Structure 1
Amino acid sequence: MGNMMKHRLFWPLTFLGALLLFNLLYSPDFFSIKMRDGHLYGSLIDILNFGSPLIIVAIGMTLVIAGSKGVDLSVGSVVAISGAISCLSISTGGGQIVDVLAAVGISLLVAVVLGLWNGFLVASVGIQPIIATLILMVSGRGVAQLITNGQIITVSNDHYKFIGAGSLATLPFSIFIVAAVFAIAYLLTRKTALGLFIESVGCKPTASQLAGVKSKTVILFVYMFCSLCAAIAGLILSSNVSSADGNNAGLWVELDAILAVVIGGTSLNGGRFYLAGTLIGALIIQTLTTTIYMIGVPPEITLVVKAFVVLIVCLIQSEAFRKSIAFRWKTRHYPAEREVKQHA
């Protein structure tokens, strides 16, 4: 049991299970899944569906944190820009599947360029990641509003709506997008040398560069991949509601993504990263959000409750915090041992 508790996924999985158990006790039909019109419906399906954008952004954020010892604060703006470009392109185009594919392609390409810009500022100019991405976080939101002309662009296109609201094999299509992104990230980082390069650059960038690793190229890649993930999330969000809102789309998603990465066990100091942990962390945040809405927490204190619970998760997951609590408990119940240690 002790070895199991030391596993990096033990505490995230335990807390996720506790959340699901609480929901089951509060609402006995929480785990029920029904089939209607050839589609599966239920709370668990909703958690996977509505949590898809966050999971995808968190996957990209994991590589940025691991490879650059920094965060990408611009992912929310990239989400808004991606949705704005795609919806504007579709609304002004013919609405055929070719037009939708072109709009999606343009959005993804622009996102890669934005990621390249972030990576350039960090790797070549030497700006701190939090400052470099803060630039795009602020300006990108303005760019999204310029694209939409400050209005909400609505589109009515079944091909585009399928991305975020369609179903495949009775499941929401967004779940398959998450599976594809996760599989690509896993194969690139665990089945090739890229993952080792990311971890080495995140741990010791100078040493890895002396060893022959092109650290600048690695940093450019992680920021480009993160922006690409944000763009995919933006496509899912905008297609799900058939509209683009440059002001509110992807708002604060960067904070949830960072929390998901941290809950999943990846250190903000860079180096080793855990994609499976990030996946669980994002599911915890989405399940927590669902729980808060289900039990009827007033909207004005929703964020406070969410922050408090996330703090508890992070503290429980911290090995140093657990050791401190265990030591305090032991010295309180076994004072003789404390006196022996003090005299020693």
Structure 2
Amino acid sequence: MKKMKEIKITVKNITEHRLFMPFLCLAAVLLVNVLKTPDFFRISMNNGVLYGYLVDIVNRASELVILAIGMTLVTAASGGQDISVGAVMAVSAAVCCQILSGGKVSANTFENPFLLAVLMALAAALLCGAFNGFLVAKLHIQPMVATLILYTAGRGVAQLITKGQITYVRVENYKILGGYIGNCPVPTPVFFAVAAVLIVYLVLNKTALGLYIESVGVNGLASRLVGLNSTRIKFLTYVLCGGLAGFAGIVASSRIYSADANNIGLYLEMDAILAVALGGNILSGGRFSLFGSVIGAYTIQALTTTLYAMNVSADQLPVYKAVVVIIIVVLQSAVFKKHITELRMKKSVSIESGR
């Protein structure tokens, strides 16, 4: 009996863990893939490069993972979302590719134009994040309304930088960011995604920043009363979100060796918000789980890969994705969890009364 109680307690602890539902949703999507495609988990080596559905999911989700990290911080601190991250990706890619292509801002006179281009692109993204942060933190504009400005104008800015054309890059170093490093069989974007997660995780947990963000998100007024500068913390989260979006834009443009202002990061802001929601995070702010958002990002990419494997066309993809996401969100909702808990209690009571 004692062992049975211990097992029940262990199972209860696991099911009540905040990462249980995100993991369960990801496992469900992967299970559907296995039933539909028996060799889904098969990974092969061809010409020194890893191939397989899992490799494709992990690789293609890299930009979304980076965006989801920044979106998590913004959501936790301000209780709102940054819907301009896709446009910021386009701006960052445009700046980087324009410099490397010897465009209006030429890098021919610098010793390392590659490094200059990346730094300038990140600076532009940080500036975009600072703009959003100023509107939200200082002027107290609703996050959705404040970031709507760059969501609307960001791609126009990117078009101005590239003069309305797709800017192609022929710099070998730049191709590595979205390709492969030397003879390494693992795609480079995977390393960037892992590095971004680890760096942000260490910063949040080895410093008091993570606690400050949660405190401001739960109650900004109370945080100010205990001495926290909630305005500065909110501003910082938007700057970080902009910087991460810029980094994702650089990786995305490196995949295609060009800056396509119309398509880079298109609709990824919605996927980033969904990743945060699927990760079990509260969209109204407060406590957050960084790894939950990462799992949510991989779940969305796994779902996308699944639908493509089922020969679903790109224009029909959002419909199927929306249906599945609705199911997943309902399963993770507080109302559904409460209903399940009540059913368990009724069942346990009926069993006890039967004895």
The normalised TM-score by structure 1 is 0.92
CA distance in 1, matches of 2:69, 2:318: 23
Q: In the TM superposition, what are the counterparts of 1:1-344 in structure 2 within 5 Å?
A: 1-92=11-102, 93-94=107-108, 98-167=112-181, 169-324=184-339
Distance 1:123 1:326, change over 3 A: closer
SS in 2 for 1:103: helix
SS in 2 for 1:300: coil
Give 1:18 shift. 1.7
Identity across matched positions, percent? 48
SS in 1 for 2:315: helix
SS in 2 for 1:133: helix
Contact between 2:136 and 2:142, CA under 8 Å: does it hold in 1?
yes
Please tell me the residue identity of whatever aligns with 1:133.
T
CA distance in 2, matches of 1:210, 1:148: 47
CA distance in 1, matches of 2:342, 2:225: 43
Give 1:117 shift. 1.1
Please tell me the residue identity of whatever aligns with 2:93.
G
Please tell me the residue identity of whatever aligns with 1:201.
V
Give 1:8 shift. 1.1
Larger mean CA deviation between 113-122 and 34-43 belongs to 34-43
CA distance in 1, matches of 2:59, 2:68: 15
Gaps of 5+ in 2: 1-10, 351-355
CA distance in 1, matches of 2:319, 2:144: 24
Distance 1:327 1:272, change over 3 A: closer
Please tell me the residue identity of whatever aligns with 1:174.
P
Count residues with an aligned counterpart.
335
Give 1:327 shift. 5.2
Please tell me the residue identity of whatever aligns with 1:32.
R
Contact between 1:79 and 1:231, CA under 8 Å: does it hold in 2?
yes
Please tell me the residue identity of whatever aligns with 2:69.
I
CA distance in 2, matches of 1:152, 1:281: 32
Give 1:328 shift. 7.7
Contact between 1:84 and 1:147, CA under 8 Å: does it hold in 2?
yes
Contact between 1:39 and 1:167, CA under 8 Å: does it hold in 2?
no
Contact between 2:77 and 2:286, CA under 8 Å: does it hold in 1?
yes
Please tell me the residue identity of whatever aligns with 2:228.
V
Please tell me the residue identity of whatever aligns with 2:143.
P
Distance 1:330 1:300, change over 3 A: farther
Give 1:188 shift. 1.1
Contact between 2:41 and 2:52, CA under 8 Å: does it hold in 1?
yes
Give 1:299 shift. 3.3
Distance 1:215 1:162, change over 3 A: same
SS in 2 for 1:227: helix
Please tell me the residue identity of whatever aligns with 1:61.
M
CA RMSD of aligned residues (A): 2.1
Give 1:32 shift. 1.2
CA distance in 2, matches of 1:132, 1:94: 37
CA distance in 1, matches of 2:242, 2:76: 15
Q: Deviations over 1:169-227 (max 9, x none)?
A: 32111111111111111011111100011001111111101111111111111001000
CA distance in 2, matches of 1:270, 1:303: 27
Give 1:300 shift. 3.4
Contact between 2:21 and 2:280, CA under 8 Å: does it hold in 1?
no
The normalised TM-score by structure 2 is 0.90
Give 1:96 shift. 9.0
CA distance in 2, matches of 1:282, 1:272: 18
**2:8 matched residue in structure 1:** none
Contact between 1:97 and 1:159, CA under 8 Å: does it hold in 2?
no
Please tell me the residue identity of whatever aligns with 2:14.
M
Gaps of 5+ in 1: 338-344
Give 1:298 shift. 3.5
